[in-house]
Amino acid sequence: MRTVFDTLKYIVGHPMNRGRALFALSRYLRWQVGSRLVPGAVAVPFVDGTRLLVEPGMTGATGNIYCGLHEFADMAFVLHALRPGDVFVDVGANIGSYTVLAAGGCGASVIAIEPVPFTSTRLIDNIRLNNIESLVVAKNTAVGAAQGHLRFTTTLDTMNHVLCDSEAGESAAISVPMNTVDAILDGRKPVLVKIDVEGYESEVVRGAEDALKAETLLAVLMEITVDGNPYGFDGSELHSQMAGLGFTLCAYDPATRELTASEIANVRQGNGLYVRDLSTLRERIKSAPERAIHGTRL
């Protein structure tokens, strides 16, 4: 579990807070005090005039308060890569940080998929708050290799996941309908796909064959668990599968807007950026407009 010290260290060391540590820490203190005085969710500024409804305990969302973009490189990549009219698939949307970035910040069309009903309700709240209902289709469903049902944890915030064998007796677990990405897209062609399903990525990819072969698809942002996958999947095999589909693992530097090829050894645990068309993406990234985030431009 992250301690207060860990949180403060993360805030001070975040790329968007370099040279602005006191300003960032003041945001942390204001949130810690203010969120205790105001019951329920609070609408906080996000990117380019968008907002997020945030409650205490929402780890990823509060990270956006403290740092502008909680997952700096990944979120910046989405902001710089997407254009109005593009289709963005947000698998594991949680409360909608990436969905709001893509639709509210970039004007993209979004299919946002979140399996846990409570969290899905918060996702819809953020869609409505930002008046992006016309751009977003929200699906309260799990995704995998086939239609059926999956059992999910419900008490772990951004870490909710498909139950592992070792959690079979989890009393707070719920059964959620499951579909495939391809069935949900129903012929729509994505430009960018994000998959964040806490180790269950291999099954999601099995049900997204058409989407991953779409000629429009430029990149896939996907969590990779190379070692210790809780479901027994081999992250190296998933990496090889993506390479076989024509994707190159890359690293993105938002400060310089440079996109460079990387190695699987650099992603032992965390998000991997798989790019199919490097030249097109590099051109998009370089020409993307700057975004206003916490008083800075990115």
6-45 pLDDT, tens per residue? 999 999 999 999 989 999 999 999 999 988 888 889 999 9
Residue 94 has pLDDT above 80, yes or no: yes
**Average pLDDT for 225-247:** 86
Mean pLDDT, all residues of the chain = 92
CB 126 within 8 A of CB 53: yes
| CA-to-CA separations, 235 to 79, 227, 239, 258, in angstroms, rounded | 27, 7, 6, 26
Residue 80 has pLDDT above 90, yes or no: yes
Which residue in 20, 43, 21 sits closest to 31, CA to CA? 43
Q: What pLDDT is recorded for position 37?
A: 87
pLDDT band with cut points at 50, 70 and 90 for residue 85:
very high
Measured from the Cβ of residue 218, the count of other Cβ atoms closer than 10 Å reads 21
Q: What pLDDT is recorded for position 40?
A: 85
Distance (Å, whole) CA 156 – CA 274: 27
Residues 132-157: pLDDT tens digits? 999 999 999 999 999 999 988 888 87
Q: Name the more confident of 219 and 295.
A: 219
Query: Range with the lowest mean pLDDT among 92-96, 165-169, 287-291?
Result: 165-169
Distance (Å, whole) CA 179 – CA 276: 25
Which residue in 89, 101, 78 sits closest to 179, CA to CA? 89
Q: What single letter denotes the amino acid at residue 247?
A: F
Structure letter (DSSP) for residue 47: B
Q: And the tokens for 22?
A: 């006191």
Q: And the tokens for 207?
A: 């049900």
Distance (Å, whole) CA 294 – CA 83: 22
Q: What pLDDT is recorded for position 228?
A: 73
pLDDT band with cut points at 50, 70 and 90 for residue 129:
very high
The radius of gyration of the chain from alpha carbons, rounded to an integer in Å, stands at 18
pLDDT band with cut points at 50, 70 and 90 for residue 268:
low
Which residue in 179, 192, 189, 184 sits closest to 89, CA to CA? 192
Q: What pLDDT is recorded for position 269?
A: 53
Q: What pLDDT is recorded for position 267?
A: 65
Q: What pLDDT is recorded for position 59?
A: 82
Q: What pLDDT is recorded for position 169?
A: 66
Measured from the Cβ of residue 178, the count of other Cβ atoms closer than 10 Å reads 19
Q: And the tokens for 136?
A: 């977003």
Which residue in 143, 150, 152 sits closest to 184, CA to CA? 143
For every residue of 167-182, DSSP letters joined together read: GTT-TT-EEEEEE-HH
- Which residues is 250 bridged to in the sheet? 261, 273
Residue 120 has pLDDT above 60, yes or no: yes
Residue with tokens 């751009």: 135
Domains of the chain: 71-297 (3.40.50.150)
Residue 105 has pLDDT above 60, yes or no: yes
Q: And the tokens for 63?
A: 């990270």
CB 129 within 8 A of CB 43: yes
Residue 168 has pLDDT above 80, yes or no: no
Measured from the Cβ of residue 253, the count of other Cβ atoms closer than 10 Å reads 13
Q: What pLDDT is recorded for position 95?
A: 95
Residues 186-232: pLDDT tens digits? 999 999 999 999 889 999 999 999 999 999 999 999 988 777 788 88
